[in-house]
Amino acid sequence: MTAPQHAPTLDRDGEVFVLDIGDGENRFHPNWLTAVGALLDEVEQAEGPKALVTAATGKFFSNGLDLEWLFAHADRAGAYVESVQALFARLLTLPLVTVAALQGHTYAAGAMLSLTHDLRIMRADRGFWCLPEAEINIPFTQGMSALIQARLAPQTAHTAMVTARRFGGVDAATAGIVDATADEAGLRAAAIELVRPHAAKAGPTVGTIKERLYAPVLEALREKDVPLG
């Protein structure tokens, strides 16, 4: 059984919203997806300059899909993956600048979640960023493949997807997976300061830029009846 975890929460540091996605493995249970969506509604509805940091607490940033729930509800698998990809598409096109603060292990769909943010900052000394799908025999959907390839350099995407390499913080920065590293104590504050200068950019123009920049990715992520094999 997956250990219980705190629900996602939303705080604010001046113009920067901080979305904490939980303190467990932060897998994408349907209730978690609903909670995150509601908090993103709050961010989008707020007026004035704003930016977003997505963070977590504990050993994991996110381990991705809730496989325990998925295997228990196989008849709802297609709708579940659609809802996950809808979250990816939403974050990829938020009309404000976003940063993912990766304080712990960032795996599978959790790693993809990090790639939907404009910037990423990762703890330097512990924790891995990894796409383990080749090892766990779960192929990437077309939307997931498109997202990864759009956000990573070709050789990095190939290595991450085909060999399931685990990247520590320094390696991830060298590979361009993350934009910066920080120590654990200062990670969230560093993420806030990284994004704060961009708060004034929030607005429809940024959303339009992202929609056009990632149009093919978004078409794939918004596919219905997603094939899982």
pLDDT by 10s per residue, the chain, length 229: 445 568 999 999 999 999 999 999 999 999 999 999 999 999 999 999 999 999 999 999 999 999 999 999 989 999 999 999 999 999 999 999 999 999 999 999 999 999 999 999 999 998 999 999 999 999 999 999 999 999 999 999 999 999 999 999 999 999 999 999 999 899 999 999 999 999 999 999 999 999 999 999 999 999 987 766 6
According to DSSP, the β-strands at 105-107 and 60-62 are parallel
Q: What is the pLDDT of residue 6?
A: 84
DSSP-H helix ranges across the chain:
30-45, 67-72, 77-92, 109-115, 133-136, 142-151, 154-163, 169-174, 187-195, 204-213, 215-221
In sequence order, what are the residues at sequence separation of 6 or more whose Cβ sits closer than 8 angstroms to the Cβ of residue 215? none
CA distance linking residue 146 with residue 81, whole number of Å = 15
- Predicted local confidence at residue 225, as pLDDT: 77
The per-residue pLDDT for 5 is 66
- Label each residue of 107-135 as H, E or C: ECHHHHHHHCCCEEEEECCCCCEECCHHH
C-alpha of 1 from chain center: 24
* 66-82 core/surface letters (b: 16 or more CB in 10 A; e: else): bbebbeeeeeeeeebbb
Q: Please give the pLDDT value at position 224.
A: 87
pLDDT at 165: 97
Residue 4, pLDDT score: 55
Assigned token pair, 89? 């598409």
State pTM to two decimals: 0.96
Collect all residues with Cβ–Cβ distance below 8 Å to 147 and sequence separation of at least 6.
Answer: 88, 92, 112, 115, 116, 217, 220, 221
At position 39, the amino acid (one-letter code) is: L
